[in-house]
Structure 1
Amino acid sequence: MLLSNSKASLKSRQKNHKISRSFWTPTNIVLLSGSLTILPICTFIILSFLLPLFTASLSASTGTSHYSTSIPWIDNVSECEHTGRNWRDRKCWDNVHDPTF
């Protein structure tokens, strides 16, 4: 009884060993190396599309985005130009206006 159990155990170990050795076939090696090549390329492509979205949201939240707007309480050319703004269309325009103003 003991002998038959050990023979069965030995046969199952040999069978498992053959299965693990048969994994490294040329086809599997090509598939594995192809997958390991494609994975970083796809990761790079996805990150290159996502990175501008994150940088745009970061720059908007830090206040580095500027918009041109008119300043309604400045109504003459000399006062507008004295503050470093531009007079255009009978309005004083601030070209670096922060939208959180």
Structure 2
Amino acid sequence: MTLVTDALFATVGVFVGFSLVIIYRIFRGPTMQDRVIAVNVVGTNTVVIIALLGAATDDPGVLDIALVYALLNFLMSIAISKFTVERGGVM
């Protein structure tokens, strides 16, 4: 492996660790807005992780998966936000 590939895999490890820390906020967030933002951050980190793995393995097809997941993450954020507004969860 080259230095660049090792650096990409190390960066993936950092993002996975960061996502695991953010999962705490999903379960213990004091408000619904904190939980929604935490879910969005984990989804965004997942997109970055998938893209970094695609770059590290030199597989351009993985980037298509990252793009689809990014679109799904956006739609999920909109749906959760709409759900919380309709239920009166936003002050």
Q: TM-score range by the shorter chain?
A: 0.3 to 0.5
User: TM-score, normalised on structure 1?
Assistant: 0.33
Structure with the larger strand share: 1
Larger relative CO (CA 8 A, sep 6+): 1 or 2? 2
User: TM-score, normalised on structure 2?
Assistant: 0.36
Compare CA radii of gyration and give the structure with the larger one: 1
